[in-house]
Structure 1
């Protein structure tokens, strides 16, 4: 038994009706009801033979919270798999823990011993495909959560909102468990509800609006989320006065961003931690005035600095990894830093990431990255250049009009000559799904280097990078934003379906036109044949959805498309007829990648907002699932194209189609209040 259930019972005895869990998308739970549900789930667990570890891989919500508490109390190890894990990562984690997989492709369980007392197995570090499973005890996690409560004080136990993706240890320990210990309210909405249907391409305007509406008092953020919120608040004039604590960790935060956040009234405190230490080692005190410090170590930890600058930690630690006990002695973190005279810890970079220039200067890339990320036009940055005269950078634009040259110049102006960025390249976003980021937002430098620095990048990666700004412009369209957030009327949804019908009914004819121009290229003909077979009849799905949503399917069939829809279709025919049949694949890239986002984020949000049945979303949800598979196939297909003219045609068509498809969405009428949202 963990002892946490007794704490919950104490809260229930003192305030049985006070809100303990608020999922926002459903009824809230009082403390008494939460205890009843946890005890009921415990009884069910006791009546079954638990697997070697119980796999948790879902969205935030009441059911997940209750299950988490019951498993902890029952002493059943939890294998936490973030939803953004690739299939290979998930298969590896399931296999080494001896848990049966969910698909035939999952390797047969090959159990490795778990250290005695394991309550949670977290796969967050290591290589892309085969990360190591860190094993933590219940006592360790709850001890860290208790230290967090002791450090920040119970006065902050108001309404804590879960923003980090489900399965992230930092949110579980410092957010969920700490809130349960302190007696606050854990607000755990589905990710899409708070603008995080795709947590690595957030809707920060939606996030700010929801945080204000729900009167959230505390948050745990990664730096990118903080930067996004700050940008929205600066642009809109909105404020979040209910917040009393915003803890930020996972990577370094620039002093400029901290200053901007605090100028907006955000009570930001930096923290530092590692999975091996249950995610929290240090946290800034409320009255600290040392921007850039991560604060003093919590009461259960001791930090020291090795002769080479590496941070060493002692105190309660992880039990080991799956199949391998922990080695005795201090934990070498791999981070370099210092401890000031007041005992505050400063983290200054990764030991293994140090750049040594050809002039012999040692440079921490994180130092330069924080300078770059302080520029409003930069969303992500990775600095490299080991062995070169000066550092170089890979940059991701934050908005369509971002001036990255100006951003680099501004960062360089504050740097010494030897550390100034000498060259930069604009690239596609780094995401966990591509194996380029950890769940906490840390760069996977080796994997990024393999994509962008070691030889020529694949054409698909080039296509993603070259169209990123066009995608951002598309996602900024008011109608697209409203659809992804679910804040559209039934009339607007029916209008969207009608326009979808008018362009989707041309999909197969366009494919046949392209096929006729590619008869001398069997590989592309086979691909088009597969697409034609898959896409035939999809326009009828849309008409069925219109009927299920209360619209007139026959009237939609007989209607004329909006001029913007007709223009998009006409342009596609003209490109193919003009001698570039391969350009059709640029249209495929745009429509399929967009439909994935609409299916993952928009469909459920619109359904919840309008109260429509699942039958009204068969095209959107089914097409989204199909297009996820199609994108993998598409990447292999276009990466095999060696002719420069083919690649140019696809890239040109893709950029044009983002604009034309965006115009289709912009042609859909929205109510004034929805447009403003």
Structure 2
């Protein structure tokens, strides 16, 4: 039975808020001298005020207008996270265009699909490699781009600004005022549950109206004078939404292009809050553990880690009114470990970090309790590309680990009879580009494909995923169908199943096809394998160890890896001979694999892979 509809009204009126450019201008006009960004240029760090940022955006927008960009034209942006990405993003919106982010790790083929499907007319690309990918992708897709501007290491952006010198402020204002709340601001491509990505149409209402309401909700962490370091890729809607919210709230932003070099940046930026994927937290913990081990303090840190988790649980219990008697020994050890380890962890993260917001991937509860025990509160939220990121979020001082918080203002949620989470509101997108609208139900709710429940406090808990999307612990959304399809098209493989949910990288389980193996054995003069698995046993089955057969399978894996991006490639795989027939209960009558049941049966093999 479905739950009652939960509805949370907007807390900030938005009747007079037309679009994103209006919101950006308002901030720069009201606080022109406040530092908006700290930008790394060579070895130096330069502070950029709100007025300077607006001037950067407007001059580039004028260049786009002079170049011939028309209202509604789509412009692709392919770059790692950097200040120039942000300037190009807003400049396209100011010029009346639609931003089409492209992950910098995309292959030529993936980029070609985005360019063709979106109908992009021009592109910004970070460096020479990105220009090359976009150029080859456009040729492959048969897309004629009017320009590909290089964002770094050339004068392209300066030349574009110079081109716009003749465009008046009045003309620019008229262009940026054309967009209404329902005008599409960005097409963000998400893998969804199909082999090809789909462009989620994000409107100005989604971005601007949701941003001001979330800022009001999270004013304890998004406020004038706060600071954040942005690690997430700006091609991800979460990063762009966080950036808009931070800018409008007066939170200074420092971009990090290369996450491996973030530690010295944290020391300089001294962030008060950060939005991260769980893998970043896991790496911090692993780094501290490694350092302790090298200093012969491994066993001491094991106890410190355990006590931090227990202290985090204690703090949550106090918050929730479930306070029990805290052992004096735990208090004393926590004080000692704070001097030995916890204070150093806080110092490594800049020394001023009070809150981590975890998003884009499921959060391990032990990890969250550890950081809370160390002195950094972790707020988990839930959302998708199609909801412009946040649907729910835990609030500072009211965070319950394991839940993903309560609804953000301007949102409505219900749980369907099959436990699917359905949402609508100011953050829910307009639909898929070239879509047919079947992503919405008859009442206009977006079907998330995720399963959940809501407790009596209105907190949402995610219980599963109806779709087969894999979210790695770095927050990368991976749709495995294309990779699996390459393997399953070969007679040797009956089923290929990519795994990696909450894991550091992708792996795969391959179930060989007995008939296919028999044919392969005959063709390769291997009569000993012709009938070896004619009657395969129950799962998890017999692991394939024959070198020649493994080599043949490895060629298939290599072929599949060559057709996907780096993030979608499988690093490790295991082949087994096992009965996954309908009679065995592992496939449906239409021969679709019952994925979760299969994975449960294969859990010993999966743990072996990741051990």
Q: TM-score, normalised by structure 2?
A: 0.55
- After superposition, residues 385-400 of structure 1 pair within 5 angstroms as none
Long gaps (5+) in structure 1: 196-205, 354-365, 367-381, 383-435, 458-467, 470-627, 636-677
Q: Secondary structure at the match of 2:449?
A: strand
SS of structure 2 residue aligned to 1:224: helix
Structure 1 CA distance for aligned equivalents of residues 27 and 463 of structure 2 = 41
Deviation at 1:66, TM superposition (A): 1.7
Q: Tell me how far 1:221 sits from its aligned partner.
A: 1.3
Q: Deviations over 1:261-285 (max 9, x none)?
A: 2222222100100111111111001
Displacement of 1:9 in angstroms is 4.3
Q: Distance in 1 between matches of 2:372 and 2:419?
A: 30
Q: How does 1:84-103 map to 2 (within 5 A)?
A: 84-99=105-120, 102-103=135-136
Deviation at 1:105, TM superposition (A): 4.2
Alignment-derived partner of residue 130 in structure 1: 196
Deviation of the 1:73 alpha carbon: 2.7
Secondary structure at 1:321 match in 2: coil
Contact 1:233–1:264 under 8 Å retained in 2: no
Instruction: Judge conservation of contact 1:271–1:282 (CA < 8 Å) in 2.
Output: yes
Q: Aligned residue for 1:30? A: 49
Q: Distance in 1 between matches of 2:18 and 2:110?
A: 29
3-state SS in 1 of match to 2:367: helix
Q: Matched residues in 2 for 1:78 and 1:33: separation?
A: 22
Kept in 1, the 8 Å contact 2:452–2:463? The answer is yes
Distance in 2 between the 1:438 and 1:118 partners? 31
| 1:345 CA drift (Å) | 0.2
Contact 1:159/1:185 (<8 A) preserved: yes
Structure 1 equivalent of residue 476 of structure 2: 441
Name 1:347's counterpart in structure 2. Answer: 462
The whole-number CA distance in structure 2 between the counterparts of 1:70 and 1:313 is 31
Distance in 2, Cα, partners of 1:232 & 1:299: 38
Supply the distance in 1 between the matched residues of 2:473 and 2:190 (Cα, whole angstroms). Answer: 7
2: CA distance between counterparts of 1:181 and 1:319?
24
Which structure has the higher relative contact order (CA within 8 Å, separation 6+)? Answer: 2
2:279 alignment counterpart: 224
List aligned pairs for 1:179-190, cutoff 5 A: 179-189=246-256
- 1:280-359 to structure 2, matched below 5 A, reads 280-316=390-426, 317-324=428-435, 326=437, 327=440, 329-353=444-468
Structure 2: distance between partners of 1:231 and 1:444? 28
Question: How far apart are residue 63 of structure 1 and its match?
Answer: 2.1
Contact kept, 8 Å, 1:310 with 1:337, in 2: the verdict is yes
- 1:55-134 aligned within 5 A: 55-99=76-120, 102-103=135-136, 105-109=139-143, 117-126=183-192, 130-134=196-200
- Native 8 Å contact 2:23 2:208 kept in 1: no
The residue that corresponds to 2:67 in the other structure is: 48
Aligned length: 371
2:296 matched residue in structure 1: none
What TM-score comes out, normalization by structure 1 length?
0.50
Q: Taking structure 1 as reference, are residues 309 and 73 closer, same or farther at Cα in structure 2, changes over 3 Å only?
A: same
2:34 is aligned to 18
- Partner of 2:156 in structure 1? none
Shift of 1:34: 1.3
Counting only pairs closer than 5 Å after superposition, residues 579-598 of structure 1 correspond to structure 2 as none
More strand, by proportion: 2
Q: 1:60 to 1:138 in 2, by over 3 A?
A: same
Unaligned runs of 5+ in 2: 1-16, 122-133, 146-180, 292-340, 494-503, 506-561, 570-611
Tell me how far 1:234 sits from its aligned partner. Answer: 4.7
Corresponding position of 2:229: 161
Q: Which has the higher helix share?
A: 1
1:170 to 226, 230, 238: 238
2:358 alignment partner in structure 1: 248
Cα deviations by residue, 1:507-532 (Å, 9 ceiling, x for unpaired):
xxxxxxxxxxxxxxxxxxxxxxxxxx
* CA–CA separation in structure 2 for the residues paired with 1:212 and 1:452: 47
Q: Which of 361, 373, 382 in structure 2 is aligned with 1:263?
A: 373
Q: Compute the displacement of 1:153 (Å).
A: 0.5
CA shift in 2, pair 1:95/1:229, >3 Å = same
Alpha-carbon offset, residue 130 of structure 1: 2.1
| Equivalent position SS for 1:28 | strand
Task: Return the offset for 1:79.
Answer: 0.8
Taking structure 1 as reference, are residues 153 and 24 closer, same or farther at Cα in structure 2, changes over 3 Å only?
A: same
Shift of 1:257: 1.3
CA 1:281–1:66 in 2, change beyond 3 Å: closer, same or farther? same
Q: Deviations over 1:420-439 (max 9, x none)?
A: xxxxxxxxxxxxxxxx9698
Across the aligned residues of Structure 1 and Structure 2, the Cα RMSD in angstroms comes to 3.7
The separation in 2 between residues aligned to 1:142 and 1:109, in whole angstroms, is 31
- Distance in 1, matches of 2:207 and 2:382, equals 16
**CA deviation after TM superposition for structure 1 residue 16, in Å:** 3.0
Alignment deviations for residues 501-552 of structure 1 (CA, whole Å, 9 cap, x no partner): xxxxxxxxxxxxxxxxxxxxxxxxxxxxxxxxxxxxxxxxxxxxxxxxxxxx
1:65-109 alpha-carbon deviations (Å, 9 max, x no partner): 222222223321011111112221111110112226622642224
Asked if the contact 1:79–1:122 (Cα under 8 Å) also holds between the matched residues in 2, the reply is yes
